Amino acid sequence: MDEALSIMYECFQPIFVNHNANKIDMIPNILSSRWSSSPSINYAGFFTVLLENRGQAISVATIRIHENQYAEMPFIGTRYMYRKRGMCRRLMNAIESILRFLNVEMLIIPSAQEVLHTWISCFGFEPLDMNTKNLIKNKNVVKFFGVEMLQKKINKV
């Protein structure tokens, strides 16, 4: 998990959630799948997916599956020295293959504005439709401010 956390901090600033006058860093809590009785900080059920080359972690993603309806992926990142080499694409292909095998229908991600075009044009995501918004409205999905939520249908083979 140390390598996964190192990659995440190379890609993202710490993201703090206020809870009972405490600031909780979201990233290590998601990576460790930390449970809480408070839904806003309950990160139970997350899996960490690593792409490795010769034992070295290159890319990492966090995934939580909500039955077979959808999976959420709040974080995906690649070490700086491996960027622009298709590593994120490889990891995404593996994740989609696993979700397809598990009969998960859709993948949901948050996207910052600066990478929105990439997720839509290169990876086939689209803004959440009304059905998906209603589906996740009262569910335990990681919430972010100032991002666009996107969805991608997982095609059956």
- In the chain, the number of structural domains is 1
User: Going by DSSP bridges, is the β-strand pair 70-78/16-19 parallel, antiparallel, or unpaired?
Assistant: unpaired
Residues of the chain with pLDDT under 70: none
CB atoms within 10 A of CB 52: 11
Beta bridge partners of 127: 150
67: left (phi over 0), alpha (psi -120 to 50) or beta: left
* Residue range of the domain that includes 118: 2-153
The residue count of the chain comes to 157
Residue 107 sits in a domain whose CATH number is 3.40.630.30
Q: For the chain, first and last CA: distance in Å?
A: 32
Q: For the whole prediction, is pTM greater than 0.85? A: yes
